[in-house]
Amino acid sequence: MFSDPNSEFTRACNMELTADGPRSKGLLGRSKRFAMIVENNIITAMAVAEAESDPAGDDFPEKTLAPALIKMATIEMAAKK
Print the domain residue range for 50.
8-80
Residue 14 lies in a domain: yes
Distance separating alpha carbons of residues 48 and 43, to the nearest angstrom: 13
Residue 54 lies in a domain: yes
2-32 pLDDT per residue, tens? 788 888 988 998 998 887 776 666 666 688 8
At residue 23, φ and ψ (nearest 5 deg) are: -65, -35
Residue 2 lies in a domain: no
50-73 pLDDT per residue, tens? 888 888 888 899 999 999 999 999
- Quote the pLDDT of residue 79: 87
Number of domains comprising the chain: 1
**Helix, coil or strand: residue 34:** strand
pTM over 0.85: no
